[in-house]
Amino acid sequence: MKLKNKVVVVTGAGSGIGKELTLALLEKGAKVVAVDLREESLLALKELVGERSKYLSIHVVDISDKNAVEKLPETINKEVGEIDGIINNAGIIQPFVKVKDLDYEAITRVMNVNFYGTLYMVKAFLPHLLKRPEAYIANVSSMGGFLPVPGQSVYGASKAAVKLLTEGLYAELKDTNVKVSVIFPGATETNISKNSGIDSSHFSSDSSKPTIKMLPASEAARLIVAGIENNTPQIFLGKDSKMMSFLYRFSPVFATNLIAKQMKSLLPK
């Protein structure tokens, strides 16, 4: 779907990939509806885009609140016009601990934001998207959605749910005007830990260990936009995501052991 003159909703738009997606979409000539939990982030985003703010609509919404999400399509329609696409980017990680040490409050929060938030957005907007000449749903899963990551097992479960939900939508909507993509970011430069309320002070600081080269959020956004414009069903962000997808399909046990070894230093003893 070519994005020029389209109205696209982006969740988690106040920072990280979401902010860069907003900028990239505006560059493409789209109108962007930026949704985020943090009003200060949205106001900063509006200031950042300057003159292009006339093509930007900001909405403070908790996507894990079903009632709030269900009101969004009508609100946006009145303010901006018919919606042509949604990019479900908002997400949080869990504390870097094993399942046995993860409390139920954190588990519920991760599932509510990552899976239910995405599901609420899809359910709220899909009836409207089906009425458009062409439309798009892009859901951000994770490399952790197809590969088990120790210390992020529940986060991975939430993103695996997003993966299968999106792939199911792709199959269900194949003969409609609505195209669907699932997105798999690898290691990306964002402030997701801070926004998730995660204390990362216990991470290993051993400089002798090899560091993972992270994909800039701006490059991640560019790849997502290109994938949408090319109607790409699966969008992999970063060499690590592509490589681990291949390894996991080729040898799940080998890939699992490899990532477990790499993550070992990040987990509390």
**Which of the residues 116, 120, 136, 155 is marked catalytic?**
155
Catalytic status, residue 155: yes
Q: What is the distance of C-alpha 29 from the center of its chain? A: 22
Q: Which residues pair with 9 in a beta bridge?
A: 33, 86
Active-site residue numbers?
155
